[in-house]
Structure 1
Amino acid sequence: MHFRPLHDRVLVKRISEEEKTAGGIIIPDTAKEKPSEGEVVAVGPGGRDEAGKRTAMDVKAGDRILFGKWSGTEVKVDGQDYLIMKESDIMGVIETKAAKKKAA
């Protein structure tokens, strides 16, 4: 199945956190918090401004993002868990060193 978000919505797949801490302590599932980091799977075409013109999205599929703890609506598509959220719920895009070198 193919899912296409509408307007300024974004489909996000959570990126699971490490099972261990930096000190090597294993964290049980019951003590874990849901990660607030994810990968953008699909984006809508963008919202509309007051004049009715389409506004471009700042994120694209493949971007690694940070979002608020309670952001988005959880959905299941083809047995996989995703979040659907508005672009305004996204706090920022995480850029890796390789992406920075490519841009420079």
Structure 2
Amino acid sequence: MKIKPLGDRVVLKKVEAEEKTASGIILTGAAKEVPQFAEVVAVGSGTVDGKEINMEVNVGDHVIYNRYAGTEVKLKNEEFIVIKIEDIVGVLED
């Protein structure tokens, strides 16, 4: 089963929250930060109200998104988030 986003939506695979700080402190469930980094797994067609928009991300891109954006979905023990393209604030590049 796959998620096919419609219009200006993008499907992201959430990145696991850090379990340890840079200094080696192990974090409990409540102390973990909500991840804002994700990998793009599907991109919609880029149409909104019959107008075509530029979808600036591609499958495989690593992106930063607004913290409370989108709809969380769980399929086969994997967590995804479906968001509008406008909620992606940047693409991570090497």
Matched position secondary structure for 2:30: helix
Q: Which has the higher strand share?
A: 2
**8 Å Cα contact 1:5-1:42 kept in structure 2:** yes
In the TM superposition, residue 18 of structure 1 has moved relative to its aligned partner by: 2.6
Structure 2: segments with no counterpart, 5+ residues: none
Unaligned runs of 5+ in 1: 97-104
Q: 2:74 aligns to what? A: 76
Give the structure with higher Rg (CA).
1
Mapped to 2, the partners of 1:72 and 1:35 lie a distance apart of: 13
Q: Once the 2 structures are TM-superposed, how far is the Cα of residue 53 of structure 1 from its aligned partner?
A: 4.1
What RMSD in Å do the two structures reach over aligned CA positions?
1.5
More helix, by proportion: 1
- Is contact 1:45–1:56 with CA below 8 Å preserved after alignment? no
- Normalising by the residue count of structure 1, what TM-score does the alignment of the two structures yield? 0.81
Letter in 2 for 1:25: I
- 1:13-32 correspondence to structure 2 within 5 Å: 13-32=13-32
1: CA distance, partners of 2:20 / 2:75? 29
Moved over 4 A (4+): none
Write the mapping of 1:1-104 to structure 2, written as runs, cut at 5 A: 1-48=1-48, 52-96=50-94
**Cα separation, 1, equivalents of 2:47 and 2:85:** 9
Question: Given residue 89 of structure 2, which amino acid in structure 1 is its aligned partner?
Answer: M
